Structure 1
Amino acid sequence: MPNWVDGHPAESLSIKDRGLAYGDGLFETIAVRAGRPPLLEYHMARLAEGCQRLGIPLDLQLMRTELLAFSAGLGEGVAKLMITRGEGLRGYAPPPVALPRRILQSSPFPVYPQVNGVEGVQLFPCVTRLAEQPLLAGLKHLNRLEQVLARNEWQGSEFAEGLMRDQSGRVIEGVFSNLFIVHEGALITADLSRCGVAGVMRAALLDSARAQGLKVEVRDIPFEDFLQADEVFLCNSLFGVWPVRSVTGHHWPVGPLTRKLQAIARDLLDI
């Protein structure tokens, strides 16, 4: 399927675009199944918050309409939605009147080993640390250089994901996923008010867990708490849930709460 720029098939972009020059924008990575994006409302909510916080005047209803049309044409695969502030002159100052650019790219679903979801994955302990920047924390903005550097730290298939911590050593997330731990029956995920990406699957699982009466905590996770967890798992909007079996010599079983959330994630993604 051809890519779209501002609602029309296109394969090029202006070199004056601020997304290219400064990473001035946001993106969403969206699973599409049977012509529909299963987590649409979560994606749109995060996009709306990001545009509000960055001051990008996006027409959200138009974006929703285009995304649904694009998804219908794609059928099965991944839609990557990028919003930039549009074109601008040299310099950091935004244009007085921003004309946001809407970009949609299609790709096949990534092929992950089935064993990742069955037996769990091993995490690579990334040296790259996430900088604390509350103004941008939680947003899926276009500047992903920390993730690029972290992902470059390991090669091969021994590690399916990397563990990312902040400057103080607190556990935050994976390179391309969010992280949960289970301790004494509580489902715990990191506070992302300083850094990290607030994933849509993370949000959906938190909502589902609360609706089922599970004890949920969103708080700082010191590395020692992480190592003492009863269960650990990762999540994102493409693969759902992967149990974590080990990192730096520490091992965890695939526990019952992980399996419960894994089944919920499958239902959310229609897989």
Structure 2
Amino acid sequence: MYLINGSYLDHLPANDRSIQFGDGCFTTARISTGRVHLLTRHLQRLRESTLRLGIVFTHWETLAEEMRQMAAAQHDGVLKVVITRGAGGRGYSTAGCDDPTRILSVSSYPGHYARWKANGIALSLSPVPLGRNPFLAGLKHLNRLEQVLIRSHLEQTDADEALVLDSEGWVTECCAANLFWRKGQDVFTPRLDQAGVNGIMRQHIIAQLAASPYQLTEVVALPEALADADEVLICNALMPLVPVQRYAGYHWSSRELYQFLAPLCELSD
């Protein structure tokens, strides 16, 4: 059952633009001890996304309270929030779409993340590239067909996550996570001004590194850049941080940056 515009329902109108065009955005938050982890950042993401997509959403206080209430009913879990442009319009036109739809749902917390943290994970190179589009880069919009295909190919391998490049061959992210790597005191993460999702945990880690002994650089890099790394990490709002053990014949055992960042990733905001 979903909380849709304040009512518990299990359906949407067939002409909702999320169904017709993937017209909307979403965020996925971790519920920890009955609270939404990094709630402020998740709301900021939705505000930025609706602004950039031109969706006029005004029920922010109501949404924040609904998020708190749904989290309070759980001890640990996952809260997903979707905002669509709503129903209406003719064809691609947004004229008359004045009533956005908000959808909240809760699911169980993924059990495999504890194993990933303990053992590290394996990456495989995805054959599916991300299209470059600076107008949409960074957003977690509802057009996720690229990720569906990336995941489909990943499930045909023995890897845990996929290293994803853009259509020019630059390292961008993973299927459902952002990427960092360390060489000495220097930390690198891909630039996301052309493709990819600027994740909540990525933003949080960048803020933590700004006040740390490490020097962070957002880079345009080929996959071979990982070969020179001392350590590779992936992150998202749920994990929140996982070490990479191997990729394409390369192996990493250092957890220096992981041990520094892991407790900071638990900060509430």
Could you tell me the TM-score, scaled by structure 1's length? 0.93
Name the counterpart of 1:54.
53
Alignment partner of 1:222 is 2:222: yes
Kindly tell me the number of residue pairs found equivalent between the two proteins: 268
Shift of 1:191: 0.6
Distance 1:44 1:19, change over 3 A: same
How far apart, CA to CA, are the structure 2 residues paired with 1:118 and 1:6? 40
Q: 2:154 maps to what in 1?
A: 154
- 3-state DSSP class of the match of 1:106? strand
Q: Displacement, 1:42? A: 1.0
Letter in 2 for 1:235: C
Contact kept, 8 Å, 2:151 with 2:175, in 1: the verdict is: yes
Please say if residues 122 and 244 of structure 2, whose CA atoms lie closer than 8 Å, have aligned partners that are also in contact: yes
Contact kept in structure 2, 1:18 and 1:88, CA below 8 Å: yes
CA contact (8 A) 2:123 2:163 kept: yes
In structure 2, the residue matched to 1:37 is: 36
Alpha-carbon deviation of 1:263?
A: 2.7
Dislocated runs of 4+, deviation >4 Å: none
1:1-20 matches, cutoff 5 A: 2-20=1-19
Provide Cα deviations, 1:41-92, integer angstroms capped at 9, x if missing partner: 1111111110110011112222212212222233431111000000014400
In structure 2, what is the Cα distance between the partners aligned to 1:254 and 1:122?
A: 15
- 8 Å CA contact retained: 1:120, 1:243: yes
Question: In the TM superposition, what whole-angstrom CA distance separates every residue of 1:6-39 from its partner, at most 9, and x where no partner exists?
Answer: 0111111100100011000001111112221011
Deviation at 1:155, TM superposition (A): 2.5
1:239 maps to what in 2?
A: 239
Unaligned runs of 5+ in 2: none
Q: Which deviates more, 216-225 or 142-151?
A: 216-225
Comparing 134-143 and 30-39, the one that deviates more: 30-39
Match of 1:176 in 2: 176
Is 1:202 paired with 2:230?
no
3-state DSSP class of the match of 1:116? helix
2:85 and 2:97 in contact (8 A); partners too: no
Cα contact 1:16–1:89 (8 A) shared by 2: no
Aligned partner of 1:268 in structure 2 is 267
Deviation at 1:146, TM superposition (A): 0.6
Unaligned runs of 5+ in 1: none
**Is the contact made by 1:86 and 1:100 (CA closer than 8 Å) also made in structure 2?**
yes
- Tell me how far apart the structure 2 counterparts of residues 144 and 205 of structure 1 sit (CA, whole Å): 24
Larger displacement relative to structure 2 (130-139 or 73-82): 73-82
Provide the C-alpha distance between the structure 2 equivalents of 1:255 and 1:196, rounded to a whole number of angstroms.
26
Mean Cα deviation higher: 151-160 or 129-138: 151-160
Q: Cα offset for 1:249?
A: 1.2
What is the CA–CA distance in structure 1 between the aligned matches of 2:236 and 2:170, rounded to whole Å? 20
Q: Is 1:189–1:221's contact at 8 Å kept on the other side of the alignment?
A: no
Q: CA deviation at 1:262?
A: 2.1
Distance in 2 separating the partners of 1:98 and 1:186: 47
Contact 1:244/1:254 (CA < 8 Å) preserved in 2?
Answer: no
CA distance in 2, matches of 1:254, 1:10: 48
Q: Does the 8 Å CA contact 1:120/1:254 hold for their aligned counterparts?
A: no
Question: Are residues 1:257 and 2:251 paired?
Answer: no
CA distance in 1, matches of 2:222, 2:124: 17
Instruction: Compute the displacement of 1:113 (Å).
Output: 5.4
TM-fit CA distance, 1:213: 4.1
Which is further off, 203-212 or 77-86? 203-212
| Preserved contact between residue 240 and residue 269 of structure 1 (Cα < 8 Å) | no
Please give the alpha-carbon distance, in whole angstroms, between the structure 1 residues aligned to 2:54 and 2:146: 23
CA distance in 1, matches of 2:17, 2:254: 44
Hey, what's the Cα distance between the residues in 2 that align with 1:157 and 1:112? 17
Which amino acid is the alignment partner of residue 138 of structure 1?
G
